[in-house]
Amino acid sequence: MSVLYLVRHGQASFGTEDYDRLSTRGKDQSHALGTSLRRSGMLPARITSGAMKRQLQTARYASGAADWGTPLDTDPGWDEFNAAELINALPEDDPDAKTDSRAFQRLLEKASTRWASGGHDADYSETFGEFTRRIDGALDRAVDSLRSGESAVVVSSSGAIAWAAARLLDGGFPQWLALNRVTVNSGVTKIVSGSSGKTLVAFNEHGHLPRSWITYR
């Protein structure tokens, strides 16, 4: 069998002008992940990141801490959906959502439900169906690139990873929304692939983090 490890990026810079960069805590989380993977002896044949800054930074910090010499590839198929666009399309606003992560999450879930309904597709540059097909394609490419016995690490974001997990669980939007809500920064989701296809064997593992380092945004 081959093994694919999907890693959520470290904590980004929520509440600042540039969300798409790691915070100091996000760098610590990424380093802790790489250190843990190095101790486990895991040596991936491939390391892939989405094209977003926070994803690439996480991949580089984790790879450095793990002391991997494997080149880093980029696949924009693993990019996150545009949360700002979803929220801006919602016919309501909450000023607290700019700095309060809980208020932001409530607004995002309302916006995501509207997005996935299919009734407002003209409001979005990428529909929910296009997003899920993009993630399906990225997942298939990542698995198909591995030979038997090889492993790979992919650094992505909560929405993308939650959809990959929901797909393998034969879930739909409600499953995706529930998984997306609880994905931890730098958490690891494990997928194995063999003669019976792709199987989700672990979701959101984050034992490499001290409790005080666990974040969701």
- For 130-188, give the secondary structure using H, E and C: HHHHHHHHHHHHHHHCCCCCCEEEEEECHHHHHHHHHHHCCCCHHHHHHHHHHCCCCCE
23/185 Cα distance (integer angstroms): 11
State how many domains the chain has: 1
Q: What is the pLDDT of residue 66?
A: 97
What are the mean pLDDT values of the chain's consecutive 10-residue runs (217 residues total)?
Answer: 97 86 98 96 96 98 95 97 94 77 89 97 98 98 95 98 97 96 97 94 98 95
The position carrying tokens 């101790």 is 39
pTM: 0.94
Closest to 9 (Cα-Cα) out of 152, 208, 129, 154:
154
The position carrying tokens 């805590």 is 25
Q: What is the pLDDT of residue 103?
A: 87
Say if 19 falls within a structural domain: yes
Say if 105 falls within a structural domain: no
Q: Are β-strands 188-194 and 2-8 bridged in parallel, bridged antiparallel, or unpaired?
A: antiparallel
Say if 137 falls within a structural domain: no
Q: What is the pLDDT of residue 100?
A: 79
Closest to 33 (Cα-Cα) out of 50, 3, 8, 70:
8
Say if 154 falls within a structural domain: yes
Q: What is the pLDDT of residue 209?
A: 98
Side chain identity at residue 143, one-letter code: V
The position carrying tokens 């296809």 is 197
Q: What is the pLDDT of residue 165?
A: 98
Say if 89 falls within a structural domain: no
CATH number at residue 191: 3.40.50.1240
195/211 Cα distance (integer angstroms): 38
User: Which own/partner contact pairs does 23-30 have at CB distance under 8 Å and 24+ positions apart?
Assistant: 25/185, 25/213, 25/215, 26/54, 26/57, 26/58, 26/185, 26/186, 26/215, 27/57, 27/61, 28/213, 29/185, 29/186, 29/209, 29/213, 29/215, 30/57, 30/58, 30/61, 30/62, 30/65, 30/186
Q: What is the pLDDT of residue 15?
A: 78
The boundaries of the domain holding residue 155 are 2-75+144-213
Q: What is the pLDDT of residue 114?
A: 97
Say if 28 falls within a structural domain: yes
Say if 132 falls within a structural domain: no
Token representation of residue 47: 């390391």
Contact present, 190 and 205 (Cβ < 8 Å): yes
Question: pLDDT digits over 68-88, tens only?
Answer: 999 999 999 999 999 999 999
Say if 20 falls within a structural domain: yes
Number of neighbouring beta carbons within 10 Å of residue 158: 23
